[in-house]
Chains A and B, each alone.
Chain A
Amino acid sequence: MFKKPQSPSEFNRLKKKKREEENVPNGKSIPTSIDIVKLKLGEVFSECSDFTTRECVFKVDEIELIALVAFIDELINIDILDRDIIKPLKNMSVSKDGSIPKAIKQRINTSNIKEVYDFDNAVDDILSGSAVIFVEGEKAALKSSIKNPEARAIKEPDTEVNIRGPREGFIEKIDTNILLIRRRVRHPNFKVETLKIGSKTKTEVAVCYIKGIASEQIINEVRTRLNKIKTDAVLAAGYIEQFIDDQPFSLFPLVGNSEKPDKVVANLLEGRVGIVVDGTPFVLTVPYLFIECFQTTEDYYEKPFFPSFLRAFRIFNLFTATTLPALYVAFSAFHQNVIPFQLLLTMMSSREGIPFSPFVEAVAMILTFELIREASVRMPRPIGQTIGIIGAVVLGEAAVAAGIASAPLIVVVSITALATFLAPPLARPIGLIRLIALAMANIIGLYGIGVVLVGISIHLCKLRSFGIPYLYPFSPLDLTALKDTALRFPLWSLTKRPKAIIWGNDEVEYRMEPDMKDDNI
């Protein structure tokens, strides 16, 4: 079923072929005359006030030749341009024999200088932060990427806070993000393939994986899906996520994302493929499993006992978050006879005088909670806190005091709201399922909740992420991979990688070589 990974020699041949293809000008070769180049660039960049050209004169055997340096002002580092390109170029004098571009290459101070043969490629390079040097009478231009390093500093991520782990988070710059990953995997098998997506934005997207661990099958699938994307704009990783999703109509996330390099690296080492998108501080990882919603990096950074408890607790709270309001409604409207007497008394006396049915009350309180949450997210930060206070007072005190909502329901809704955030990736699907369960509970009681839960289980069993069953390792059952699910076994006992993800790469099944393990003991 699986194609064997290509042998290195074949891979190199393909790579060479690809490179040749790139260099063959497809009817849009670079004009030899600088004036025509200038004219064409002027056409392409008309009304672009930030586009700049600079002419330099240098000597070839005492004959003066013109070189044109084209770049976009703020995109490049002007100091480096002046110091390392313009200055050497002006002072240069070369002999006529031999290739002039080669001679320039040797004399210019920047290290990443390359030839371009295609005019459109040259334009793309200018747009992505290179200075391109056109030389009178030459078919080849030279480009040097001297991007302006201006970017946000690396900060602690806001979304995934941890106590003992690394504090670095991704930023909006793709180079930095790849660097952050590369720094943690110092192995040549860490591969990065870049491509551009979006006919207008030309957003840089990098596919990274660890060769030999990641399944070829999945890497190819990622490549094909990315290449199939036909859109003019990719503004954030979320765009890519929606285009490569297996089941666009499923409520559940089928592509993972993380703001933390250590988490992405851990995923790569289990055989997943990372997709870094320029302009987004989140790196996507595929395939994504359901159990990942409950895993945090923090789980692995301390002794396994408390993290194991937390894992189980998070999974338990998935049910709390989905069904607690529904259970409250089902019990208070249908199954009063199973409520213990004292609790029934409390519930009854709190419901006395409330004008709404438990269902209306629950929906109203849940919507109020969503309202406060959304408002405090959208508001500017300083006002956001005020909203929180208003919310707490309105929800907690005033609603009860005014006799609009009953106190036990407030408790139920608050617990539900908190439980939702124990598994942040599931917060959105849960928010919707909760309302469905609530409605069903109001129609047919516990039976309705059962129907909803069974339906969702069936749906989850059906889901695939890049061909991998979403519920793996529960279904299909994989006992060794179960060690890292509801309980987190000690690190030294997690000897094997999840089999479904590295499918086809059986030789890398072990994370720890058996003798390595013996040494530890």
Chain B
Amino acid sequence: MTMTLRKMFLIVIINIVLLTQTGCWNNTDLTRLAVVTAIGLDLNGDDIEVSVQIIRPKGVSTGKSQGQGAEGEKNYIVLTNKEKTVVEALRGLLNSIDRQIFYSNVQVIIIGENLAKKGINKILDVFQRQTQTRPKVKMLIAKGTPIIDILETKSQFEEFSAVSMNNITENDNIRSTIVETTLIELLQNMKSKGKEVVIGTIFKKPDKGITVEGCAVFEEDRLVGWLDKDLTKGYRFAKGDIKNAALKIGSYYKGENEVQLEVVEVRSNTKIVWENQRPKFVINIDQTANIAEMTTSMDLMQKGAVEGLEQDYSNSTKEKIKDLISYMRERKIDVLGLGNILYKFHYSYWKRVDANWDRELSKIPIEVNIKSRIKRSGLINQ
């Protein structure tokens, strides 16, 4: 009896000690949280300017209680603060809000153009160390628009523009005119040698509101160039990173007619072939598409018609990639991350060219081979 009593006593004591030691006492009510949906980072003079979009739960309409919040009341606020470091600036926000800032639901992190041009390594350090923001947060670069303007914009469908930015970025798997880069991908890419860093861009069109389109190219950690939506598409084709996209091609026998394809599968593979001790990059692409729209009543049952379209398909893809390559050569930016292939498979050669890779890049020939297939012609007339 005494034994069991002593045991019981011990168990109770151990549990009490455990409870005090676990240190997970952070009981915080939801009403004490300020949920951040978007973080913007830019330079203001020499200081780092942080802007955050914070939810105002009172204005949020849910289910039946829609319209309960006063009419016209905004359901979010945008706060900014500038300090020498990111953490300082974020903490400084607490001066003006009475709640604990909660970063777990950050949907997008937007980096300003000025900051991006100076280098983003410095500010990304914070996001590597802290664990609140999720690693899959979308990264975006604000192109020519102040971040505050982007954060203040009202979304058409979503309650918070941050959510809609996130969703538009995710749309990219059916349009392929942007590159979706998450925080973790960005951190990984920046760490690996010779790998390109590409981040989608966001800007505000005067008539259209927020637009997420095209992408920004980085070298090391500095912004060096922009890709527009066509170049971005070329980039995606070259990387074989297309799940679904629309592609317009000219029909093979009548120039003025147009055929719209729905690209459904692209596989690409970049290899290095050695010719006379010199490397040559070979990009092999295997692509499949369905016919989505035709402005002509072309007879697909005709012999060679589909093959002709496939040829056109290859040509337009090749054109897009060629555009990208010439952009690369012109600006001396390794957008396709070709250096990384050399670094991985031919390290000795890479060591030789590493220092002046920019110049070397324009000398190395790049060959593009494309195999196309049109799977569903959608024979609606027959």
Contacts and interface: CB of A to CB of B under 8 A. Distances in A.
Interface of A: 332-334, 336-337, 341, 344-354, 357-358, 407, 442-445, 447
Interface in B32-62: 33, 35, 55, 57-58, 60-62
Contacts of B25: 443-444
Given A346-B62, A443-B19, A337 B132 contact: yes
Given A336-B28, A336-B30, A349-B61, 8 more contacts: A333-B28, A333-B29, A337-B132, A344-B105, A345-B55, A348-B30, A349-B58, A349-B60
B31 A333 contact: no
Contacts of B31: 348, 351-354
A347 B30 contact: yes
B197 to A, nearest CB: 27
Nearest to B31: A351
The 6 A-B residue pairs whose C-beta atoms are closest, nearest first, are A337-B104, A349-B60, A348-B57, A349-B57, A352-B57, A346-B62
10 contacts: A333-B30, A334-B24, A334-B28, A337-B104, A341-B107, A345-B159, A349-B60, A349-B62, A349-B65, A442-B27
Contacts of B105: 337, 341, 344
Contact of B29 (A332, A350, A443): A332
Which has the most chain A C-beta neighbours within 10 Å: B27, B58, B60?
Answer: B27
B60 A348 contact: yes
Contacts of A444: 19, 22, 24-25
Contacts of A334: 24, 26-28
Contacts of A357: 29
Contacts of A442: 27
Nearest to A333: B27
B63 interface: yes
A345 B62 contact: yes
B272 interface: no
B190 interface: no
Contacts of A358: 29-30
A443 B22 CA distance: 11
A298 B29 CA distance: 45
A348 B35 contact: yes
B168 to A, nearest CB: 16
Given A349-B65, A447-B24, A332 B30 contact: yes
A344 B35 contact: yes
B269 to A, nearest CB: 37
Nearest to B104: A337
A243 B30 CA distance: 49
A447 B29 contact: no
B226 interface: no
A341 B57 CA distance: 13
Contacts of A350: 62, 65
Which has the most chain A C-beta neighbours within 10 Å: B61, B62, B102?
Answer: B62
A410 to B, nearest CB: 13
A351 B24 contact: no
A206 to B, nearest CB: 38
A202 B102 CA distance: 69
A326 to B, nearest CB: 13
Nearest to B33: A336
Contacts of A348: 30-31, 33, 35, 55, 57, 60
A444 B24 CA distance: 7
B163 interface: yes
Contacts of A351: 29-31, 57
Contacts of A344: 30, 35, 105
Contacts of A352: 31, 57-58
Nearest to A354: B31
Contacts of A354: 31
Nearest to A352: B57
Contacts of B26: 334
Which has the most chain A C-beta neighbours within 10 Å: B105, B107, B159?
Answer: B105
Contacts of A349: 57-58, 60-62, 65
A220 B179 CA distance: 78
A163 B230 CA distance: 68
Which has the most chain A C-beta neighbours within 10 Å: B24, B33, B163?
Answer: B24
A350 B60 CA distance: 9
Interface in B96-124: 102, 104-105, 107
B63 A346 contact: yes
Nearest to B102: A336
B81 to A, nearest CB: 23
B138 to A, nearest CB: 13
Contacts of B30: 332-333, 336, 344, 347-348, 351, 358
Interface string B158-179: 0100010000000000000000
Interface in B116-147: 132
Contacts of B159: 345
A438 to B, nearest CB: 13
B7 to A, nearest CB: 14
A110 B132 CA distance: 88
Contacts of B57: 345, 348-349, 351-352
A168 B201 CA distance: 75
Nearest to B37: A341
A264 B29 CA distance: 50
Contacts of B65: 349-350, 407
Contacts of B107: 341
A333 B63 CA distance: 23
Contacts of A407: 65
Contacts of B29: 332-333, 351, 357-358
A307 B24 CA distance: 43
